Chains A and B, each alone.
Chain A
Amino acid sequence: MRRPSITASSVLQALADGAQYGFDVIDRTGLPSGTVYPALSRLERDGYVRSTWEDEDEAHAEGRPARRYYRLTAPGVRALAEATSHYRSLLPALGIKPVRGRT
């Protein structure tokens, strides 16, 4: 599998940081919705992300429709780790000092 792009990596990172829904990811990454959703669909197609539907009753109890929520799969976690270390290794070349990441 190809290494996730920077965009895809930030989507993965957002999910790893606890985002659950598409709009959460948008809010956390600051990327536009037209970028985040195709990225999510692609990551799901490639097996890095799995999506499930929220329980209808639970949602209705809160007076809103059920939402689709996303989480990382094991390959997704690995791909994120690999991508993070790769992009971090590029930083010195850009003249940026690497900082300790959260992962």
Chain B
Amino acid sequence: MARFDLAIVRLAAPVVPDDIRRDWRREWEAELAFEHQRGRGAAALAVRALGAVAHACWLRQDRWRWDVLWHDIKYAARTLLKRPSFMIVAVLSLAIGIGANAAIFGAVRAVLLRPLPFPAPDALVAVSTTTLERPDVPGGSSTPPDFTDWRRDLRGFVEMAAVVAGASALTGDGPAEQVPSANVTGGFFGVLGVPALYGRALEPGDDPVGAPDVAVLGHALWQRRYGGRREVVGSTITIDSQPYRVVGVMPAGFAYPLGADLWVPQRFSEEDLRTQRGAQYLDVIARLAPGATVAQARDEMRAYARRLAEQYPRTNHDRTIALHPMREALVGDVRPALLLLLGAVGLVLLIVCVNVANLVLTRALGRRREWAVRTALGAGRARLVRGLLVESGLIAVVGGLAGLVVAMWIARLLAALEGSVDIPLLDQTRVDGPVALFTIAVSGLAAAAFGTLPAWQASKNMDVARGIREEGSATTGDHRRQRLRGALIVAEAALAVVLLVGAGLLMRSFIGLVAVDLGFTRERVQTFNLSLPEPAYPTTAARSAGVETLLSRVRAHPQVEAAGAIFGLPLTNFGYVISMSTLDDRTLDDEESMERSVQVRVVTPEYFRAMGIPIRRGRTFGEEDRLGAPPVVLVNETAAARLWPDQDPLGHSFTIGTRMGQGDTRAGGVVIGVAGDVRDGGPARVVRPTVYLAHAQRPVNFLTIVVKTRTDPGPLVPTLNGIVTALDPNLPIYRVRTMEQLAMDAVAQPRLFLMLLAVFAAAAVMLAAVGIYGVMAHAVSQRTREIGLRLALGAGRGTVLRMVVGQAMTLAVVGLALGMVGAMASGRLMRGLLFGVEPFDLPTFLAAGAAFGGVALVASALPALRASRVDPVEALREP
């Protein structure tokens, strides 16, 4: 029978130190044999034999001379501190490289990796209505009847909820105030799995029309406005002029969607469910049933969508459903940019490692004599190499610690950015356990990268006699070492050029973005939002009159040049696309109707003047375009070209289905003017066909007031607020922004990425320059005698200068060429981030090449100048 126990002992034997291995094996085999004889079972013996493994390991580790290692560390620290300049340069560059890596990793972790702050977040999905043409694009809103059908019929989900994010006015119990809020169906809190801190959250029982009006407060709002008093649960507050009973308070940190601080029920009447199969305004979230996968649920939903399409061909024929894990739906389009940045900082760290390796190597050259002496005195080669590795490790540890500090600093900076840059979860960026662990791993890798090569170099051909003799008198330096350092310089240059080209492409792309004409004037335009609560402004006439009065009072101010209002301000991610039902009195079939869908805006007459949007043809709305008068519309140039190609759009007409206002669900009219195109979605987006309805004819209760001022609008904001309050003290103004700010925010994300990549590229180029300088300076100092000899024999100073610069530039140019190849290879990864620039943009490549060449030239010119100033007499007299 096979003796497993003996096999284990045999396997563990090599671990035991040589001198005691025989005795060790003899003892274990004897004990096991004894037990075997006593009739112990094979399994019990094998278990006991496992102890031999532990024993062997213990004996081995006991041999490690910890005291010797400790001595090495002390020795390394002493040597490093003796010439601190090396240590400082190495630690600083490592701190930058490691710190940047840790911080960007922290951001990646916060945005892409860390679980969402909900229980079992993997089961959370975002459900969106999409078109068959592009079935997987997240973010499409859904309609109430579709949602109600899904929730009733689909089995793959524990719960499903619809959300309409918005803002609500709180009045009565304090100053009027607008808070971010959400209308949610009863399943909302169940889907997210977060219970109320006090009282209860909303429940499916709150869904029916006619159930009591209840509200749930966010923690921040509860603290701020209600002083954290628990008695507020059960009390009645006024939301949008309507009484609501507070039923609960959510725990701190719960602010979904988008910083919401107040939740009220979203209800659908029978009529809504009958008439709104075309009204896409719900965001739907769901929790998968236990064990269900996203793919399964998606298949179930797609099959169901086909059934709905058969049942309601008019509205649903082109629709299908997309299901995305909630995180993906939240952060989808930032992923490539963040990963690109992670790659970029990785390159920076690589350059740092190359640089430090170079420094260590340079130092190693200067220490050959020390090593020769130590070898002569009996130090083993292993000991010397270990000493070098310990030095590298020490540098890495100190560099890693400093890097952690740098990381915390950058992380705080990134986290503070979220308000202005639209990257969800970025504010969660922090240096925590896993990030620290990542830092440790990166530092370890870095140490291995920059420590091993020099140690390996040092361990080779250590010729003691030569080492002792040679110091300071080399004529051409050690060729092989010089070549290795040259290779490092080439690598460094190549990496720096890749980053430089990347930053250059982003810069070109950003300049292109900023130069895009948005279609309106952004200077001196102040905007703020206003919602007229329905109970206080119940009729269309009341709303229209309220807004008109307000605008005329604003206009009366001497600093105001023009004032208008719009439903759907540009650059605010305002969708509202509606399909067309009739065009020039012709009823469109379903396909045509979808094809001709337009973006809808509602404006007052002076909106175009306030925004500086030109009227290309016809006129804007006038006093005569009132409620009751024939309905009229403006269209933008794109809509004009799309709807009536090669014709004069004036006098044509159309209607759209809409759910704005009460009663009549159709809107539209005769085209009286064509307005200039506006890039609603930002500079990188296409202009959508847009129609403008007259506010006097289709008043809405949510508007953005747009005020063009004669001077800087900032100081005017309190005055504007005063005008609103004087009109109605219960009307809060919110989202107070200038168009200038909105235009800046629209490019904030590309600007952030550009800035970060530019900083990384600059750091990379600087490090590469330092590397070139270091190598050339060292080479020159090694060759002082040779250069002196050349000068003495009649070489001109120009020749020496050219020789040194030429050598450096050869390395730089080889690196440059490799870098260009690398940049072309990585350009593919950048395509998605570029706007108006190809990844192989020749001017960018040329500029990056020229910039790097210039820096390399300067870096090599300094040592070259020093070489050309060598005094031949001095140089030759030196021993």
Specify which chain B residues have a CB less than 8 angstroms from the CB of A22 in the assembled complex.
27, 31
Interface centre among B30, B35, B58 (most CB of A within 10 A): B30
Chain A residue, CB-CB nearest to B29: A65
Query: Would you call A21 and B62 a contact (CB within 8 A)?
Result: no
Interface residues of A in 47-63 (CB under 8 A from B): 59, 63
Query: Would you call A34 and B26 a contact (CB within 8 A)?
Result: no
Interface centre among B23, B29, B34, B37 (most CB of A within 10 A): B34
Q: How far is the CA of A65 from the CA of B25 in the complex (A)?
A: 12
Chain B residue, CB-CB nearest to A23: B31
Q: How many residues of chain A have a CB within 8 Å of chain B?
A: 21
Interface centre among B27, B47, B52, B53 (most CB of A within 10 A): B27
Specify which chain B residues have a CB less than 8 angstroms from the CB of A97 in the assembled complex.
none
Specify which chain B residues have a CB less than 8 angstroms from the CB of A32 in the assembled complex.
51
Chain B residue, CB-CB nearest to A51: B27
Interface residues of B in 7-35 (CB under 8 A from A): 23, 26-27, 29-31, 33-35
Specify which chain A residues have a CB less than 8 angstroms from the CB of B50 in the assembled complex.
33-34
Q: How far is the CA of A42 from the CA of B61 in the complex (A)?
A: 12
Q: How far is the CA of A68 from the CA of B49 in the complex (A)?
A: 16
Known: A65-B26, A68-B27. A37 touches B33 (CB 8 A): no
Query: Would you call A67 and B30 a contact (CB within 8 A)?
Result: yes
Q: How far is the CA of A42 from the CA of B33 in the complex (A)?
A: 24
Known: A22-B31, A41-B58, A41-B62. A68 touches B23 (CB 8 A): yes
Known: A23-B48, A33-B48, A37-B51. A64 touches B62 (CB 8 A): no
Asked if A77 is at the interface (CB within 8 A of a chain B CB), the reply is no
Interface centre among A21, A23, A36, A68 (most CB of B within 10 A): A23
Query: Would you call B58 and A64 a contact (CB within 8 A)?
Result: no
Q: How far is the CA of A96 from the CA of B456 in the complex (A)?
A: 60
Specify which chain B residues have a CB less than 8 angstroms from the CB of A21 in the assembled complex.
31, 34
Specify which chain A residues have a CB less than 8 angstroms from the CB of B514 in the assembled complex.
none
Asked if B660 is at the interface (CB within 8 A of a chain A CB), the reply is no
Query: Would you call A66 and B51 a contact (CB within 8 A)?
Result: no
Q: How far is the CA of A74 from the CA of B29 in the complex (A)?
A: 29
Asked if A35 is at the interface (CB within 8 A of a chain B CB), the reply is yes
Q: How far is the CA of A45 from the CA of B33 in the complex (A)?
A: 26
Specify which chain B residues have a CB less than 8 angstroms from the CB of A59 in the assembled complex.
30
Closest CB-CB distance, A86 to chain B, in whole Å?
A: 25
Asked if B54 is at the interface (CB within 8 A of a chain A CB), the reply is yes
Task: State which of B26, B37, B59 has its C-beta within 8 Å of the C-beta of A64.
Answer: B37
Specify which chain A residues have a CB less than 8 angstroms from the CB of B34 in the assembled complex.
21, 23, 64-65, 67
Asked if A26 is at the interface (CB within 8 A of a chain B CB), the reply is yes
Q: How far is the CA of A64 from the CA of B49 in the complex (A)?
A: 18
Chain B residue, CB-CB nearest to A45: B62
Interface centre among A33, A45, A67 (most CB of B within 10 A): A33
Interface secondary structure of B, over-half rule: helix
Specify which chain B residues have a CB less than 8 angstroms from the CB of A34 in the assembled complex.
50-51, 53-55
Query: Would you call B35 and A33 a contact (CB within 8 A)?
Result: no
Specify which chain B residues have a CB less than 8 angstroms from the CB of A38 in the assembled complex.
54-55, 58-59
Chain A residue, CB-CB nearest to B36: A64
Specify which chain A residues have a CB less than 8 angstroms from the CB of B37 in the assembled complex.
63-64
Specify which chain B residues have a CB less than 8 angstroms from the CB of A26 in the assembled complex.
48, 51
Known: A26-B48, A34-B50. A68 touches B30 (CB 8 A): yes
Query: Would you call B54 and A67 a contact (CB within 8 A)?
Result: no
Chain A residue, CB-CB nearest to B40: A23
Specify which chain A residues have a CB less than 8 angstroms from the CB of B27 in the assembled complex.
22, 67-68
Known: A23-B48, A68-B27. A35 touches B54 (CB 8 A): yes
Q: How far is the CA of A51 from the CA of B410 in the complex (A)?
A: 61
Specify which chain A residues have a CB less than 8 angstroms from the CB of B26 in the assembled complex.
65-66, 68
Q: Write the B55-90 contact mask toward A (1 if CB under 8 angstroms, else 0).
A: 100110010000000000000000000000000000
Interface residues of B in 265-283 (CB under 8 A from A): none
Query: Would you call A33 and B30 a contact (CB within 8 A)?
Result: no
Known: A38-B58, A68-B23. A33 touches B52 (CB 8 A): yes
Chain B residue, CB-CB nearest to A22: B31
Q: How far is the CA of A63 from the CA of B30 in the complex (A)?
A: 11
Query: Would you call A41 and B48 a contact (CB within 8 A)?
Result: no
Specify which chain B residues have a CB less than 8 angstroms from the CB of A37 in the assembled complex.
51-52, 54-55, 58
Chain A residue, CB-CB nearest to B49: A33
Task: State which of A33, A63, A65, A68 has its C-beta within 8 Å of the C-beta of B51.
Answer: A33
Q: Write the B556-600 contact mask toward A (1 if CB under 8 angstroms, else 0).
A: 000000000000000000000000000000000000000000000
Q: Write the B301-335 contact mask toward A (1 if CB under 8 angstroms, else 0).
A: 00000000000000000000000000000000000
Query: Would you call A41 and B55 a contact (CB within 8 A)?
Result: yes
Q: How far is the CA of A62 from the CA of B37 in the complex (A)?
A: 11
Specify which chain B residues have a CB less than 8 angstroms from the CB of A36 in the assembled complex.
51
Query: Would you call B30 and A64 a contact (CB within 8 A)?
Result: yes
Q: How far is the CA of A59 from the CA of B34 in the complex (A)?
A: 10
Query: Would you call B48 and A65 a contact (CB within 8 A)?
Result: no
Closest CB-CB distance, A26 to chain B, in whole Å?
A: 7
Q: How far is the CA of A26 from the CA of B44 in the complex (A)?
A: 13
Q: How far is the CA of A42 from the CA of B30 in the complex (A)?
A: 21
Q: How far is the CA of A41 from the CA of B51 in the complex (A)?
A: 13
Specify which chain A residues have a CB less than 8 angstroms from the CB of B52 in the assembled complex.
33, 37
Interface centre among B31, B34, B59 (most CB of A within 10 A): B31
Q: How far is the CA of A38 from the CA of B33 in the complex (A)?
A: 20
Chain A residue, CB-CB nearest to B20: A41
Chain B residue, CB-CB nearest to A34: B54
Q: How far is the CA of A33 from the CA of B407 in the complex (A)?
A: 47
Closest CB-CB distance, A48 to chain B, in whole Å?
A: 15
Query: Would you call B55 and A67 a contact (CB within 8 A)?
Result: no
Closest CB-CB distance, B21 to chain A, in whole Å?
A: 13
Chain B residue, CB-CB nearest to A68: B27
Interface centre among A37, A45, A66 (most CB of B within 10 A): A37
Chain B residue, CB-CB nearest to A54: B30
Closest CB-CB distance, A49 to chain B, in whole Å?
A: 14
Closest CB-CB distance, A15 to chain B, in whole Å?
A: 15
Specify which chain B residues have a CB less than 8 angstroms from the CB of A63 in the assembled complex.
37
Known: A23-B48, A41-B62, A45-B62. A65 touches B30 (CB 8 A): yes
Q: How far is the CA of A42 from the CA of B63 in the complex (A)?
A: 12
Q: How far is the CA of A63 from the CA of B36 in the complex (A)?
A: 12
Q: How far is the CA of A85 from the CA of B384 in the complex (A)?
A: 48
Closest CB-CB distance, A72 to chain B, in whole Å?
A: 18
Q: How far is the CA of A78 from the CA of B872 in the complex (A)?
A: 78
Closest CB-CB distance, A54 to chain B, in whole Å?
A: 8
Closest CB-CB distance, B61 to chain A, in whole Å?
A: 10
Complex A-B, nearest 4 residue pairs according to Cβ-Cβ distance, in ascending order: A33-B51, A34-B54, A38-B58, A37-B55
6 contacts between A and B (CB under 8 A): A22-B27, A22-B31, A41-B55, A45-B62, A67-B31, A68-B30
19 additional A-B residue pairs with CB within 8 Å, beyond A35-B51, A64-B30, A67-B27 = A21-B34, A22-B31, A23-B34, A32-B51, A33-B50, A33-B52, A33-B54, A34-B50, A34-B54, A36-B51, A37-B52, A41-B58, A64-B34, A64-B37, A65-B29, A66-B26, A67-B34, A68-B23, A68-B27
